[in-house]
Amino acid sequence: MPIIFDSEKKIFKLDTLSSSYIFKIYDENYLVHLYYGAKIPDYNLTDFEDRRMYASFSASNPNLLRTGFSADVYPLEIGCNGCGDMRIASLQIRNADGNASTDMRYVSHKIYAGKPALKGLPALYANEDSECMTLEITTRDKVTGAEAILIYTVFEKHSALTRSVIIRNTSEKPFTIEKVMSFNLDLIGKDFDLITLYGRHNNERNFERRALAHGRQGIGSRRGSSSAQQNPFMALLRHGATEEYGDAYGFNLVYSCNHLCEIEVDFNESSRIMMGIDPSDFGWLLSPGEEFYSPEAVLVYSNEGLGGMSRTFHKLYNNNLVRGQWKKAKRPLLINNWEGTYFDFDDDKLFNIAKWAKDIGIEMLVMDDGWFGLRNDDRCALGDWTVNENKLRGGIGSLISRIKGLGLKFGIWYEPEMISPDSDLYRAHPDWCIHVPNRDRSQGRWQYVIDMSRQDVRDYLFDKMSEVLAHNDIDYVKWDFNRNITEAGSALLPPERQKEFFHRFILGTYELMDRLTKTYPHLLLENCSGGGGRYDPGMMYFSPQIWCSDNTDALSRVDIQFGSSLCYPASVQGAHVSASSRSGYETKRNVAMWGSFGYELDPAKISKEASEEIRTQIADYHKYYDLIHYGDLYRIISPWEDPYKVAWEFVSEDKSQAMLTVVVKFFKEARNFFIKLKGLDPEKFYKCDHNGEVYSGALLMNAGLSMYHLPDGDGESYVIHLEEVK
């Protein structure tokens, strides 16, 4: 059983494939954490609960003075504000008396097969109830009547568990939730390195590793999105742990708005970890009988280092996060016109691109920004989602008919959450833009953000999108989000609920995406936010692929893709070949093959030789699709370890084939070097397509493969395929 409860010792034990998570009901019904780490068969962990050392200034529950217990020093499953725990709190409620003292104690629990949905929120799911098991623990503050239901779901085969919290008001008075984190985890010690993913537009998800220090440290976003600046992911690696060895804990928040990922190392050398909605611009007024659902957090433990942690996330997300028709179906290879034409296109220019695409083997044309309203540049018309028939003569139906006549699929671009000040929609409904009274409305990229917390706004958007989607044969939608939120407020929310705005905004976005994908289940939805500004598991629940970055330069992309791979699978990663000039088409292809492959270029501007090279690339895309999308990823040489070259490898689940890619970013010196492959079967033999030789998996992993005769100039790259021979 993945979850057991010892009623005599009052201990809960949650087991996955390679980890155990253990806690107990302590005296006075405190939930005390005991252990999270490599899987263990027993739970004789009595000594792990005692943290009385140096607690002389820590207040104690008067009923527990004899034991030396203090909420300030003991490891807890929920850290409450104002009742003895002086560390960062995972829960703070401002009650009807005006104070923010909160004290949650165990009341009851239940264990059952399967996994519950989270109302209004994306979350991991069970394909079958037997796939996972859930523990729900009800805790209650006896003074205020507030309840916190702690939800733990164990994905036994994936070495992962999820955590979330439901806050319920069982009293007769309203109260305000001021902070609710999705989980609270107290680990022994501070001998960890913290890994986070920082960045900006065109340079997302850079790897950063630093040692934990006493006090608070962490990352977050207050931009109205998960952001390119700080992804809602962090990992803890035990000192000395590497890519393939040692303890690694990964944490990822299934949420696309403001978030906080925080760690505090206290005076007892304990590390408290939590993730959730950023509390600085958050508050939620909860009336009697109402519930509030927190976003879900995913926790992964690996004793096989950072790589083992990553591969667990990849398999888990491919199997239990990505949904719908395109979860396993082979996705069409596309060409997007944006970098080829920008706003300067019409139906004939798009048709000419499509003819070239069909001839070369591409399967879908995507028409990007500029097809609607008076949208001839980026300064107008967002919100006016009607077809511009000056560009698309005969309407969009005529263009689609021509494209489909070639045998191609057709996709279209939207930015539903935005509104231009120069638009018919804004002139008709100026209150629909996000704003606060008596302040200038900041513009970003010449646009405002529309108020997705409003039902009338969402209904308008759904109806306008349906006017196009319901009456035309459209296979794909690219959903963009190109600025941060400022002057955050809604014209419909009363003053006491304005701090609910950010969360209501993203709930509205989720609701519209859910309605769209349920109404048009055949659509392949690709998310985008200036590239990778909402590259998070919340968006992956609705869109099985996300545009990784607007930066399509191959030598820049390898860094972005390495960082993204810490927890996000290749199947989700939108990666295209473009006309960028720092490398040739071979390297562009080799980098873009690490993901959902496609093209961003103008065929009229490339040579016949390049076209023929692209034809070969497309054949490789089809040949190795499953290996890349669903194989195990091994980061062989990382850009954060070697500034000159990088290497990665995909290995099929049955270990019958592998693909090694090496990119030389900067030529350093002519020297022989070997690469030791990973993840192969040591007992199997593999034929190398580079030299025709046959090697054992043991030799390839322990002695390595020589790279001596392969390209090593700036921007050059190569791919080596290995296939099992009987």
* Helices 395-405, 347-360: inter-axial angle, 10-degree rounding: 20
Place of tokens 């993840």: 679
Active site residue 480: yes
**Would you call 202 exposed, middle or buried from its count of C-beta atoms within 10 A (0-12, 13-18, 19+)?**
middle
Q: Are 126 and 114 in contact (CB under 8 A)?
A: yes
C-alpha 711: how far from its chain's center?
Answer: 35
247 is catalytic: no
Among 451, 480, 553, 712, which one carries the catalytic annotation? 480
Nearest alpha-carbon partner for 465 in 512, 528, 508, 402: 512
Distance CA 661, CA 648 (A): 5
Separation of alpha carbons 379 and 482, rounded Å: 13
Q: How far apart are CA 258 and CA 281, in angstroms?
A: 9
Task: Report the C-alpha gap between 114 and 340 in whole angstroms.
Answer: 47
CB atoms within 10 A of CB 627: 20
Query: Is residue 90 a contact partner of residue 103, using CB atoms and an 8 Å limit?
Result: no
Pick left, alpha or beta for residue 523 (phi over 0 → left; psi -120 to 50 → alpha; otherwise beta).
beta
Query: What whole-number distance in Å separates Cα of residue 651 and Cα of residue 681?
Result: 10
And the tokens for 125?
A: 């799911």
The CA–CA distances, whole Å, from 407 to 347, 354, 445 equal: 17, 10, 36
266: which residues sit within 8 A by CB, 6+ positions away?
A: 73, 87, 214, 272
Which is catalytic among the residues 72, 103, 384, 550?
A: 550
| 694-696 and 685-688 strand pairing | antiparallel
Dist. CA 60–CA 322, nearest whole Å = 46
Nearest Cα to Cα of residue 548 among 195, 196, 203, 225: 203
DSSP structural state of residue 529: B
Residues 6+ apart with CB under 8 A from 414: 385, 465, 477, 478, 479, 480
Residues labelled catalytic: 480, 550
